Homo-oligomer: A and B are copies of this chain.
Amino acid sequence: MMPQLYHVPLSPYCRKVRLTLAEKKLEVDLVEERYWERDADFLRRNPLGKVPVLKIDGLILSESAAICEYLEEVYPTPSLMPREPKDRAEIRRLIGWFDDAFYHEVTLMILGERVNKKLTGEGYPDSRNVKSGVQRVKFHLDYMTHLLDHRRWLGGDEMSLADFAAAAQLSCLDYTSDVDWDRSAVVKDWYAKIKSRPAFRALLADQVSGFLPAPHYADLDF
C-alpha cells in the first residue's frame, strides 16, 4: 500500500516530511487533516492531535524529526545526513534551530496569527506577535547568511535535512510573502537552488482556501 501522509499544506513540519519523501522518491498519498477538529480516528493515530502523521511500512509515525530520521535509516538513498557523528550533530543542531526556535519565534508569530487562527477559528491575529515575528526573522536570515558565507548548504558541503527544515519554514512564510529576499543574496541563492529541485514542486502547487499565494511564490526566478 502506498504510504499516506496526514498533513496540512502550510505546516512547516509536514513540508519537511514531504520534501524528505520526495527527495527519496517515495510516493505518498496526501490526506489533508483538519487536526483542530480533533477527529477520534485521527487522535488514535496521534493522541497529540498534530500533523504530520505518516503511515508507512505498516507503522503509524508521528513527530517530524522522528519521521525524517526513520526515512533516512530505512531509505538511505539519497542520503540526507552525513556519516560522521560530529557532522550529524551539526545537522541535528540546525534541525532543532529551525523546528524549535525559528518556528516559535517567527513562523508561529506570523503565520500562526495571520493564517492558522483564521483557518481554525481561534479568533483575530495579535498584532504584537506578528510584529515580533517580523522583527525576529531578520536575526534568523542573518544567521543563515553567516552559515552560507562559509558553506555550500546550511549544514555543510552537502544538502541535508537541515536545509529541508529551514526551507520548510521559509516556504510557508513565502506563501504569504513574509520573507524579505532582498536582505541576503546568499540566502536567496540558497532558496532558489532548493526551490528548483523536483522534490519542491508539489509544495509550490499548494493552495490554501481563503489565502492566495504571493505572486512570486511558485516562481523559480523570484
A residues with a Cβ closer than 8 A to B are: 47-48, 50, 57, 59, 61-67, 69-70, 73-74, 85-86, 88-90, 92-93, 95-97, 100-101, 143
Contacts and interface: CB of A to CB of B under 8 A. Distances in A.
Nearest to A104: B104
B92 A85 contact: no
A92 B63 contact: yes
Contacts of A59: 86, 89
Contact of A69 (B61, B73, B92, B143): B92
A70 B89 contact: yes
A65 B143 contact: no
B96 A66 contact: yes
A61 B47 CA distance: 32
Nearest to A146: B47
A47 B63 CA distance: 25
Contact of A66 (B64, B66, B67, B92): B92
